[in-house]
């Protein structure tokens, strides 16, 4: 790959590739070996086909898991991380490059998600992120987390700093990485005398965040918290 890049053979396919890009490919391979030898559970996630069944959270990326598998396609999260490394760091430009190369919508979405979230690791070590920041990060990356994690490590984020996020991702009961609601929309409508509308979704989202932050842990606390939110935040005009 380095020789091909030096000879200009990659220019037509990956015009944004640089010497640093190629070093990241090597770093991704080296990091993959580390996980193979020391953290088999996460290595299994990295090896998942992006259209396969992963134990990881899906969130916004459900269409990726539902898309039919393309003939001959066996791209996993490691190859998505490598692909992102060869693209422009500007997400719209990168997406345009991938569309021209006839990549699938799922692959473009995954690579773009990696690029959009890599910058978050440069501002503050993830081990120091507040719970709310971690929650919104997992909401954003969804099932693409393994690719984001290995790309971030290859870009210089220490494994020790990102390990707590990996542990959350692997724990299906973790309320930060895998939020679940203590109440349903019907519960809120019945308990708070609400009509169907946007306010229900807003309250459910607030309850998920509150649970991730440890402010509520059971159904009764969730109802009390929702009632407090309702009293302090009037319903929107569309409710």
Convert the pLDDT of each residue in 216-231 to its tens digit: 888 898 888 888 887 7
**In this model, does residue 13 exceed pLDDT 80?**
yes
Band of residue 235 on the pLDDT scale cut at 50, 70, 90: low
Residue length, the chain?
239
What pTM, to 2 d.p., does this model score?
0.81
Q: Which residue has the higher pLDDT, 147 or 1?
A: 147
Q: How far is CA 47 from CA 37, 43, 57, 65, 104, in A?
A: 14, 6, 15, 14, 19
| Closest among 117, 86, 125 to 103, alpha carbons compared | 86
Residues of the chain with pLDDT > 70, as a percent, come to 87
Question: Measured between alpha carbons, how far is 184 from 158 in angstroms, rounded to an integer?
Answer: 39
Mean pLDDT of 44-66: 61
Read off the pLDDT of residues 117-128 as tens digits, 9 standing for 90 and up. Answer: 998 988 778 888
pLDDT of residue 171: 96
> In the prediction, which pLDDT does 83 show?
95
Question: Please, what is the average pLDDT of the chain?
Answer: 85
């Amino acid at each position: 790959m380095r020789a091909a890049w030096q000879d200009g053979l990659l220019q037509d396919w990956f015009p944004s590739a640089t010497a640093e890009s190629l070093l990241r490919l090597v770093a991704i391979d080296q990091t993959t070996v580390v996980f193979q030898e020391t953290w088999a559970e996460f290595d299994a996630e990295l090896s998942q086909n992006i259209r396969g069944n992963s134990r990881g959270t899906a969130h916004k990326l459900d269409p990726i898991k539902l898309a039919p598998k393309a003939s001959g396609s066996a791209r996993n999260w490691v190859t998505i991380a490598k692909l992102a490394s060869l693209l422009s760091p500007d997400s719209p430009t990168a997406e345009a490059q991938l569309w021209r190369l006839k990549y699938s919508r799922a692959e473009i979405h995954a690579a773009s998600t990696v690029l959009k979230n890599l910058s978050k690791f440069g501002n503050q070590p993830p081990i120091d992120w507040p719970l709310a920041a971690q929650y919104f990060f997992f909401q954003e990356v969804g099932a693409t987390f393994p690719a984001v994690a290995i790309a971030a490590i290859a870009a210089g984020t220490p494994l020790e700093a990102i390990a707590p996020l990996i542990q959350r991702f692997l724990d299906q009961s973790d309320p930060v990485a895998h939020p679940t609601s203590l109440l349903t929309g019907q519960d809120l409508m019945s308990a708070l005398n609400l009509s169907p509308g946007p306010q229900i979704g807003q309250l459910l989202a607030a309850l998920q965040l509150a649970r991730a932050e440890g402010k509520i842990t059971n159904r009764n606390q969730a109802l009390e918290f929702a009632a407090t939110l309702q009293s302090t935040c009037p319903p929107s005009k569309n409710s």
